[in-house]
Amino acid sequence: MAVVKELIRANEAGEISFGDYSLEKKTKLEDFECNGDIYKVKTFHEITKLEKNGMFVYESVPGTAVENLSQNEHGMEFVVEGPEDAQITIELEDDMEYKIYIDDINVGKMKTNLGGKLTLSVELAKRDAVKVKVVKL
């Protein structure tokens, strides 16, 4: 996997790929349409952020590249890559419990806050990419 040089793209299944952690300066792309939704991405080596229809979806510190992000009423799934370990915040359903899988291994349960945000850490420094899956209980 590599950084997403066009900053954001969609595949035939409607999954979104975004982010370029190799950039030195903050770069953004707005008004990217996919499946009737409008996306905005901001990315560089310090942070990567994705919004959908003006609402928060994903943020990582430091910046990452995300492949095949998909969301539905049951949760979210994506593959993430970066040069070092990252803290990732995602928006899900408010005050709900989710099971977290990292590379298909159940690493436990987490509950979103009243704003629907869930924050997790992924170890990226010694790996090419990590698969993250978050499933509503």
Strands (DSSP E) found in the chain: 8-10, 16-18, 27-34, 37-43, 48-52, 55-61, 65-72, 75-81, 86-91, 97-102, 105-111, 117-122, 130-136
pLDDT at site 2 = 65
Domains of the chain, earliest start first = 8-136 (2.60.40)
In Å, the largest CA–CA distance within the chain is 39
> Is the model's pLDDT at 1 over the cut of 60?
no
pTM, 2 dp: 0.95
> Is the model's pLDDT at 117 over the cut of 60?
yes
What are the pLDDT digits (tens) for 9-68?
A: 999 999 999 999 999 999 999 999 999 999 999 999 999 999 999 999 999 999 999 999
pLDDT at site 61 = 98
Long-range contacts of 109-115 (CB under 8 A, 24+ apart): 109/137, 115/91
Average pLDDT value for the chain: 95
Q: What is the mean pLDDT of residues 113-126?
A: 93
